[in-house]
Amino acid sequence: MVRYYDAADRKDLLCAERTLSAAGIEYAVTPPLPGSGLSGAIGIAEEDLPRAAEVLDSARARARH
């Protein structure tokens, strides 16, 4: 599993988790480093990275419009 996404806040983390779950992509959330200002990091299996990037980029694009 590789560290893929650092969530800026709790809302960002939950949105990423929902998006990955809906796409059937397995992930793991690790707690943030103390003082980092982040809400957590999402780890993805290396073979799932292209699909994870696709679905998260698509979700972010939809959220902007």
Answer yes or no: is pLDDT of 43 > 80. Answer: yes
Measured distance CA(65)–CA(27) in Å, rounded: 27
Is pTM beyond 0.95 here?
no
pLDDT of residue 57: 92
Query: Which value, to the nearest 10 degrees, does the dihedral of the CA atoms of residues 36, 34, 8, 31 take?
Result: 140
pLDDT of residue 56: 92
Task: Report the mean per-residue pLDDT for the chain.
Answer: 90
| Two structure tokens written together for 29 | 């959330």
Tell me the residue range of the domain where 27 lies. Answer: 2-64
Q: What is the CATH number of the domain that holds 12?
A: 3.30.70
Measured distance CA(65)–CA(53) in Å, rounded: 19
The total number of structural domains in the chain stands at: 1
Amino acid at 64: R
Tell me the per-residue pLDDT of 6-30, one tens digit each, with 9 for 90 and over.
888 889 999 999 999 999 999 999 9
For residue 16, the SS3 value is helix
